[in-house]
Amino acid sequence: MTNILEGSVRRAGSRVRVTAQLISAKDGTHLWSERYDRELTDVFAIQDDIASAIAAALEVTLAGTPAYKPDPRAYDALQRGRYQRQRLVGAPLLSARECFKQAIALDAKYAAPHAELALTHLLLSINGEGAFRDIADVAGAEARRALDLDPSETNPHAVLGAIAAARDYNWKLAAEHFDEAISGSSVSADARWAHACLYLLPLGRMRESVDQMQRAVDQDPLNVGWRGVLGSLLNCTEQYDRALEELRKALELDENHLGAHFVIGETYWSLGRFAEAAAAAETAYRLVPSHSMCWGFLAAVLAHEGERDRAAALIAQHADSPKPVWGRVWYHLLSSEIDEAAHWYRVSIEQREPFALMFANYPVTKSLRESHHWSTLANLMNLPVTA
């Protein structure tokens, strides 16, 4: 990294103030700074002015200007949707979906909201809001619409790669789409997440997966969701201290973030610190008691700590309709009930839950991978039996 662009945006009614400064990463020298006070409708003019000024400061020539400038109201809705989506849980994801739909309604020729809506459908299905095998068609249609409007968009390829991997188990097609998504000069943090978790991770390429997720966090350091995912991937490579460090940073950004509390509990479990794992599991369950990952993990921790009656009550309450199914798999794996874990794992595969892929090479599934069940389960996903 040679130079860093820093700045802030303040909005008051229809007015916006943008302050930007270009700093040398080598010695901290300020190369350029400027403040812009404009009407919100001029936001794209401000972008052009900043880009031109930076180019002048660096004595380079811009390769070109954006081919399409959307309706500012649609752009505003898009940004609100992106902000909501970073929490990666139910209600904010639903709000994000509505924001992207609003952006599409405001500007039918704007490609980005279609790409963002496609990704949001994918994330909603991961959280149990409908079976992925059904939602994938809707997400794929939005991704292809984005490409029709702007073939230079790369994010839609990440969604199409995720669909090829998680619904069709077509690893060749998934590789082609992910190559498109991450080969350009400007790769989004969202594309890096999809590549890391739905392609590299299932294929056992753990270090590469961590690297992609680290780059996603570096690109979008305020995205609490991606920082939580990084913590989980660090657990895969037994980098527990680094995982806890990232997860604490996530909680500094949002003290009520479900994913961060859940993965902290997962990390403490891996370290054998069961009392701390129980405390984190209780917090995650309090935040979203209906999510199977929360009650499944809590039940496993409670059973381990001797509270078997409460653990059994949690399982009985949600026994036949876990959303997502993976919560049951998680519970049985942590409870060393391999046959039951294999049964629910197969149900997860049949419903095309992305978790079936994402956890295929996790430490928690090691006992299942070492069982006679694994060859059947791996073959159902077209995965190598030994990663």
**Considering the domain boundaries, does residue 376 fall inside one?**
no
Q: How far apart are CA 149 and CA 116, in angstroms?
A: 14
Residue 337 CB-density burial (10 A; 0-12 exposed, 13-18 middle, 19+ buried)? middle
Q: How far apart are CA 119 and CA 115, in angstroms?
A: 6
Tell me, what's the pLDDT at 322? 87
Residue 40 CB-density burial (10 A; 0-12 exposed, 13-18 middle, 19+ buried)? middle
- Whether 351 and 132 have beta carbons less than 8 Å apart is answered as yes
**Same domain for 79 and 128?**
yes
- Determine which helix (DSSP H) or strand (DSSP E) holds 15, and give its type and residue range: strand 15-24
Query: Which of 162, 187, 212 is the endpoint of a domain?
Result: 187
Q: How far apart are CA 221 and CA 126, in angstroms?
A: 23
Q: Domain of 92?
A: 70-187
**Same domain for 95 and 162?**
yes
Residue in this structure with the two tokens 């403040």, named with its chain if needed: 35
**Same domain for 8 and 77?**
no
**Considering the domain boundaries, does residue 174 fall inside one?**
yes
Distances 371 to 199, 300, 338, 347, 350 between C-alpha atoms, Å: 24, 20, 8, 17, 20
Residue 346 pairs in a beta bridge with none
**Same domain for 12 and 82?**
no
- Measured over the CA atoms of residue 261, residue 263, residue 267 and residue 273, the dihedral's sign is positive
**Same domain for 98 and 153?**
yes
Tell me, what's the pLDDT at 61? 43
**Considering the domain boundaries, does residue 108 fall inside one?**
yes
DSSP string, 269-316: HHTT-HHHHHHHHHHHHHH-TT-HHHHHHHHHHHHHTT-HHHHHHHHH
**Considering the domain boundaries, does residue 170 fall inside one?**
yes
Tell me, what's the pLDDT at 104? 96
Tell me, what's the pLDDT at 64? 46
**Considering the domain boundaries, does residue 133 fall inside one?**
yes
DSSP string, 31-72: EEEEEEEEEGGGHHHHHHHHHHHHHHHHT---S---S----H
**Considering the domain boundaries, does residue 48 fall inside one?**
yes
**Considering the domain boundaries, does residue 353 fall inside one?**
no
Tell me, what's the pLDDT at 91? 83
**Same domain for 10 and 47?**
yes
Tell me, what's the pLDDT at 183? 86
Query: Which of 134, 157, 187 is the endpoint of a domain?
Result: 187
Radius of gyration for the alpha carbons in the chain, expressed in angstroms and rounded: 22
Q: Provide the token pair at 374.
A: 């694994």
Single pTM value for the model = 0.81
Tell me, what's the pLDDT at 323? 86
How many domains does the chain divide into? 2
Report the side by side order of strands in the sheet with 30-39: 3-12, 15-24, 30-39
**Same domain for 8 and 116?**
no
- Whether 173 and 164 have beta carbons less than 8 Å apart is answered as yes
**Same domain for 153 and 74?**
yes
- Whether 181 and 157 have beta carbons less than 8 Å apart is answered as yes
**Same domain for 104 and 137?**
yes
**Residue partners of 275: CB distance under 8 A and separation at least 6:** 305
Q: Provide the token pair at 287.
A: 């935040």
Q: How far apart are CA 377 and CA 365, in angstroms?
A: 12
- Collect contacts of 246-255 with beta carbons under 8 A, ≥24 apart: 246/217, 250/224, 253/222, 253/224, 253/227, 254/87, 254/224
Mean pLDDT per block of 10 residues along the chain (387 residues) reads 66 70 60 65 63 56 59 92 81 91 95 94 80 87 95 92 96 96 86 96 95 94 91 94 95 92 95 96 94 94 95 88 90 96 96 92 93 97 85
Whether cis (ω within 30° of 0) applies to the bond prior to 324 is: yes
